[in-house]
Amino acid sequence: MSELEASPRTDAAPAAAPSPWKKRAIIASVVLLAAGAVAGGAFVWWRSQEAPPLVDVFPDESYLVAFVDVEALRKGPLADLVSEGDSQAKQQAKSLLGTCSDGAIAAVREVGIVVPGGASEEGSFALAARLDTKGSWLAACDAELSAKGDAMPRETGGAWTYIGKTDAPRLALHRGGLVLWGREPFLHALAASALKKDGAHVYRQFASRIGEAAQSPHALAAITLPAEQRRVFAAVIEEQQHEDGHPELFSIARAGLAATVDAPADTLHVSARFESDNLDAVPKLRALFEKLVQKAGDSLEVRAIGLGDALSGARVVAAGDAVVVTTSAPLARLRMMARRLRLMNEMRKLTRDANPASPDPSPPQPAP
């Protein structure tokens, strides 16, 4: 743009000053446009917000947490095994969700379980799921649940909707795709803390230490053992004068197991981590776990289901305040284990059917 074009025109007639009423109309229009933009932006933001991964949802003070990344496993080499699990879950969900259960199960990204810590009521726990909110399944399920009327009462609190009677396990649904199932008062307490941003994310940090460095684990189970609880356990063992009490075990403050599917290598990696609050106990823990892993790998039962080689090749190392056990197995071995366990279950069932008067002392074991 030239200086002539940029310079203000001096020959133009001065614009008439707007009247006070016109000024107010202009201001009102600007305010309404701004409010509309903010409201529209807030709506888009709200609709686009999704629940975070479950490892970030679990409260820092939880006693036990576990999750499975169903979405990632569906896309990997274990998709057929996940599909079997989906089919079973759909059958179980039909009684509650009716015809929309297929869409709801297909929308599941993660499933997990959380047990509260502290002085919570014994036996309290909650199941959790993170779902994809896109698609028509959400409206279909809402219609299914609404049709149940008084049999499935509902209440709304902020972004949460609670479905079911308060004296029984019930659902808590968040608009961002987070679903919780459990009993009160833990259900409400979990919903209130699940999406807070000010936590230390204890379990996310633990998952980064236990899993494979290249990616997040596809499955994780972790437990935090309070010092007071460990002191009680240690006192009981000492009182019973067990020779193999292994007092170093009571220094374990947090333990976890993580599994990662390496699709290119067609391999399952498993890592276990045991963090101690006593550095002097770490060498003893390492020696103990080496012994336990070797003993387990030599057992006939473990070799019968195909785990012997995996345990024989396990590595046990000390890493600072922790002992880490890692092993790997081909996915073909996992499939073989699943087939063997399924066959064992079928054989037990045939035995029970043939001898109904004699109860089976060993209940069926679920496939992994």
Take residue 257 and report the two structure tokens written for it.
Answer: 């197991």
- What b/e string do you get for 190-210 counting C-beta neighbours within 10 Å, with b at 16 or more? bbebbbeeebebbbbebbebb
- pLDDT (mean) for 318-327: 92
Q: What is the mean pLDDT of the chain?
A: 78
Question: Considering only 4-8, 107-111, 241-245, which range has the smallest mean pLDDT?
Answer: 4-8
Is the pLDDT confidence value at 237 over 60?
A: yes
Q: What is the pLDDT of residue 215?
A: 67
pLDDT tens figures, 40-74: 222 222 333 678 899 999 999 999 999 999 999 99
> Which H or E run contains 270?
strand 267-276
Among 242, 249, 97, CA closest to 173: 97
Is the pLDDT confidence value at 22 over 80?
A: no
- pLDDT (mean) for 170-193: 91
pLDDT tens figures, 117-164: 876 667 789 999 999 988 888 888 888 888 887 778 888 888 899 988
Is the pLDDT confidence value at 9 over 60?
A: no
- Strands, sheet with 219-224, edge to edge from the N-terminal-most edge strand: 154-157, 160-163, 170-174, 178-182, 126-131, 108-115, 64-69, 219-224, 252-262, 267-276, 322-330, 315-319
Q: What is the pLDDT of residue 276?
A: 95
Q: What is the pLDDT of residue 238?
A: 76
Give the separation between CA 90 and CA 73, rounded to whole angstroms. 17
Is the pLDDT confidence value at 286 over 70?
A: yes
pLDDT band per the 50, 70, 90 thresholds, residue 188? very high
Residue 217 backbone phi and psi in degrees, to 5: -65, 145
pLDDT band per the 50, 70, 90 thresholds, residue 20? very low
> Which H or E run contains 262?
strand 252-262
Q: What is the pLDDT of residue 312?
A: 79
Residue 176 backbone phi and psi in degrees, to 5: -80, 0
Q: What is the pLDDT of residue 285?
A: 94
Sign for the CA dihedral angle at 173, 177, 180, 185 comes to negative
Question: pLDDT: is 190 or 14 the higher one?
Answer: 190
Among 24, 65, 70, 54, CA closest to 218: 70
Is the pLDDT confidence value at 36 over 80?
A: no
pLDDT tens figures, 75-97: 988 888 888 888 888 888 887 78
Among 138, 219, 149, CA closest to 174: 138
Secondary structure (3-state) at 121: coil
Q: Is 257 exposed, middle or buried (0-12, 13-18, 19+ CB in 10 A)?
A: middle
Take residue 65 and report the two structure tokens written for it.
Answer: 């947490």
Neighbours of 218 (CB within 10 A): 24
Which residues lie below 8 Å from residue 76, measured CB to CB, with a gap of 6+? 218, 261, 263
Is the pLDDT confidence value at 318 over 60?
A: yes
* Proportion of the chain above pLDDT 70, given as a percent: 79
Q: What is the pLDDT of residue 219?
A: 94
